[in-house]
Structure 1
Amino acid sequence: MPYLATMSWYDPILDRVRSRPPIVSVVPLRGVIGSLGPLRRGLSVDAVGPLLQAAFRPRSVTAVALVVNSPGGSPAQSELIAGRIRDLAAEYDKPVIAFVEDVAASGGYWLACAADEIRVTPTSIVGSIGVISASFGFQDAIARLGVERRVHTAGSRKSLLDPFRPEQAEDVEHLTAIQQEMHARFIAWVRSRRGDRLKPEDEPELLEGKFWTGARSVELGLADGEGELRRTLRERYGARTRFRVLSRSPGLARRLGLAGADGPGAADGALAGLADGLIGAVEERALWSRFGL
């Protein structure tokens, strides 16, 4: 009898636990991957790591949703962020679903592949499984301006790919070898995450750097289906599903590199921050424009 009495005392608590709505943590992964300067922060493992930890840790969380909108960027940061997602998914035993907005291309697709499932909109851009390096050559321009380039190195190849000198075949060969190594690692990651959802007959075309619409990416096995986050997850977990949206928003002073600075060098820091931000904005614009955005 005491046992039955104890159980009856716990029943209301158990009922309340059972009646709690499912909770899904939502982590936005939007923007260029890597450093863009203090004014325009890119995605990095240092920046999004705490958000991911907060998304997975609560026992009440049923699943984690990644909102991906990225044209790519740093291969190293793509790999680090994706690795952190997989480590946390294994540690806390929670499913991960990626929802692609405008673009999950190059490093953005690397991040999407960290999920157990990828959902897209029909007009999303998906893929671009490749590695790219772009620069300019200014040697003729500085010659016309009468500018003399002075570079002193210890190491005969230290000035490799200097944009103010004529391009050297051996430099390009070295860069190409690095790109091929990174591309092979990218391909291995995609194959490990997508498995037999990728058809062998399509693989050569899929892995050469092309990108596709969301609708076509589903047919090719790059994504698992179409679906908007709230509608998809409420259909799956119930109409009462709640969403915990995590975000990062540091102050303008920190983005300018001025946090804690009020001495004579503060203005110089602001100007340097603005210059870095402008350069970062140009680089970011170039990445987005590759996909017509």
Structure 2
Amino acid sequence: MSVADKLTSRLPMIGERGERKDVVAVVKLHGVITPTPSPLARGSINLAAVESALTRAFAHERLKAVALQINSPGGAPTQSGLVAERIRQLADEKKVPVLAFAEDVAASGGYWLACAADEIYAHRTSMVGSIGVISGGFGFTGLLERFGIERRLHTAGANKSRLDPFSPEKPEDVEWLKKMHGQLHELFVDWVTERRGDRLSGSDDLFNGDVWLGARAVELGLIDGVGSLRQVITERYPDAEISVAEPKKPLLARLGIGAPAAASALLDAVQSKAAWSRFGL
């Protein structure tokens, strides 16, 4: 047999090529939800960061479902809403089911993202929920006095400097913040109620900001079952292959180069760590 004949014999004949498999696309949503990711922080989620991964995930020709692999303690409500709305937009356009899977934690904004799915699953040790609103900051008035530093702040508008960390806290500013929290909490509750519907248990504790482990989250109707991504996907779509779409990392992160430890970057990293620490992570 000639070399040409040998090469020709190895080429697939017409009709021999098997059909392409169905696909379940997995999108990893890991990190604190923030519009300003820090190069020193432990991953972050925002619409700009995940847009390409979502687009790739929903673009498969033989797409059977999209799975969201969520590991997030929450963060910025606006970015949570933008990412969740983008997921729903793509799901409605492609007419494919979306399944969410909580890993260590899907809390606060992380649970907001999970509610973009048609079904939610978690590991029995996952922490789920935290349907509430939180904000924090620092007060530096004593520090300025200690070092004899004079704060100079000029504004147009009586409320322009609300909650300035270098000025004494005012009761009226705290009351304003609480009202904002209340409005955001109401929007969060409306979103969960819209997405989960009559699957919710109606418990009085459901929207008080607590988190629950997997089995209790099922009882409350926050999730649909206990199980891992591969377990559920294998049972539901046994003949499909899994295709993972990860959000793109910044160039420095891809090169393994950290950013300079500037004060602002360090503060962002501390805040990110604090977000995870609320759940012991």
| Same fold, TM-score > 0.5, yes or no | yes
Counterpart Cα distance in 1 of 2:63 and 2:92: 14
* Structure 1 vs Structure 2 CA RMSD: 2.2
Alignment match, 2:44: 42
Counterpart Cα distance in 2 of 1:126 and 1:37: 25
Q: Which is worse superposed, 31-40 or 188-197? A: 31-40
Contact 2:21 2:62 in 1 (8 A): no
Contact 1:38 1:256 in 2 (8 A): no
Counterpart Cα distance in 1 of 2:22 and 2:230: 12
Matched position secondary structure for 1:206: coil
Contact 1:39 1:256 in 2 (8 A): no
Alignment of 1:236-251 (within 5 A): 236-238=236-238, 240-247=239-246, 248-251=248-251
How far the C-alpha of 1:21 sits from its partner, in A, is 2.9
How far the C-alpha of 1:274 sits from its partner, in A, is 4.1
Query: What's the CA shift string for 1:129-187, capped at 9, x where partnerless?
Result: 01101112221222122221111111121111011221111101111111111110000
Alignment of 1:163-242 (within 5 A): 163-200=165-202, 202=203, 204-238=204-238, 240-242=239-241
Alignment match, 1:53: 55
Alignment match, 1:252: 252
Counterpart Cα distance in 2 of 1:103 and 1:50: 24
Gaps (5+ residues) in structure 2? 1-13
Query: What's the CA shift string for 1:163-217, capped at 9, x where partnerless?
Result: 12211111011111111111100000000000011122x0x31101111111210
Counterpart Cα distance in 2 of 1:124 and 1:209: 16
Alignment of 1:84-233 (within 5 A): 84-200=86-202, 202=203, 204-233=204-233
Contact 1:38 1:254 in 2 (8 A): no
The residue type equivalent to 1:237 in the other structure is Y
The residue type equivalent to 1:46 in the other structure is A
Q: 1:117 to 1:26 in 2, by over 3 A?
A: same
Alignment match, 2:84: 82
Gaps (5+ residues) in structure 1? 1-10, 259-269
Q: Do residues 67 (structure 1) and 66 (structure 2) align?
A: no
Runs of 4+ in 1 over 3 A off after TM superposition: 38-41, 253-258, 273-276
Query: What's the CA shift string for 1:215-272, capped at 9, x where partnerless?
Result: 210111000001111121111111x4311111223321799999xxxxxxxxxxx64x
Query: What's the CA shift string for 1:48-102, capped at 9, x where partnerless?
Result: 0111111012221111000000000000000000000000000000110001000
Alignment match, 1:33: 33
Q: By percentage of residues, which structure has more helix? A: 1
Which TM-score applies when normalising by structure 1? 0.85
Percent sequence identity is 52
Q: Do residues 277 (structure 1) and 279 (structure 2) align?
A: no
Contact 1:36 1:276 in 2 (8 A): no
Counterpart Cα distance in 1 of 2:255 and 2:166: 31
Matched position secondary structure for 1:205: coil
The residue type equivalent to 1:286 in the other structure is A
How far the C-alpha of 1:122 sits from its partner, in A, is 0.7
